[in-house]
Amino acid sequence: MIDREKNGADLTICGYYRSTLVGDTFNLDKNVKTCLNNKDALLLLVKPKAYQGFVWNKLFSMAVIRENNLRFNEELKAVQDLHFAVRYFLLCNTVYFDTTPLYHYSTDTNGVTTFKKCGEREISGIRSFEKLSKLLHNVNPAAEKEVRTSLCGWALLVMNAYFRTNMHDQKILNFLCKKFRSNLFYYFNSERYSRRQKIGGSVAAFSPRLYYHLLCRYGYQARQNRMKKKS
């Protein structure tokens, strides 16, 4: 059990196991126990392979929440946890991070984020990332870059859902393209994506429909090749 009062931090974070359709995976490095300053803690919060914005692996202080009247933004339909966590982290001086897995997170997916539709929830995720980038602007530029990169990744997923579900709403497609293109600099300069993904991103910026067709064709082949190697 992690004792927030004992380590004197404003927030304590624990590790977790993640269970997916393709098996159990341990997401965080083992045996790491450290205190982080606000800047480093915020950066890890918005990185996709750190402790992330989930609320279930964090021990918050009710005093901080009450004193600052922190609440989830009910207008946001997606990425609410991260939006709440960033606002809380901005009020912290120190964050204690212990990778001991104290939570088991089980999902009914194969571990790859996909969207079944292009609806209000999916589009709301883009607005959540925009709100986060404004919160972090001039406060933590490195964290803002990660958020804007995530916005691009999210926009691509929603674009794919748009074509996969045969939507015909040009206004929505224009919105997705505009948000992706306006943050393309961060996508191209991120170490998160491979050279092949960045080439795909340049295609998506020019022609999202062509990007979707290429992804369907070559993305499927790549998955098949990976499965053959594993078998």
Residue 15 contacts residue 99 (beta carbons within 8 Å): yes
Phi and psi for 161 in degrees, rounded to 5? -65, -35
Confidence tier at 227 by pLDDT (50, 70, 90)? very low
Per-residue pLDDT tens digits for 146-155: 999 999 999 9
In the chain, domain spans: 4-106, 120-230
Residue 139 contacts residue 91 (beta carbons within 8 Å): no
pLDDT of residue 85: 95
pLDDT at 198 exceeding the cut of 70: yes
From the number of C-beta atoms within 10 Å of its C-beta (0-12, 13-18, 19+), residue 98 rates as: middle
pLDDT at 6 exceeding the cut of 70: no
Residues 6+ apart with CB under 8 A from 79: 53, 124, 125, 128, 129, 132
pLDDT at 2 exceeding the cut of 60: no
pLDDT of residue 113: 53
Please name every residue paired with 23 in a beta bridge, in sequence order, or none if there are none.
20
Lookup result for tokens 């958020």: 147
Sign of the C-alpha dihedral computed for residues 124, 125, 130 and 135 taken in this order: positive
% of the chain beyond a pLDDT of 90: 59
pLDDT at 26 exceeding the cut of 70: no
pLDDT of residue 119: 87
This prediction's pTM: 0.84
Check residues 177 and 3 and name the one with the higher pLDDT: 177
Pick the closest to residue 148 from 164, 160, 136 (CA basis).
136
* Length of the chain measured in residues: 231
Q: Strand 11-20 and strand 94-106: pairing?
A: parallel
pLDDT of residue 18: 77
Please name every residue paired with 97 in a beta bridge, in sequence order, or none if there are none.
13, 34
pLDDT at 47 exceeding the cut of 80: yes
Lookup result for tokens 């505009």: 178
Pick the closest to residue 42 from 142, 154, 126, 131 (CA basis).
142
What is the mean predicted confidence (pLDDT) over 100-115? Answer: 68
pLDDT of residue 230: 46
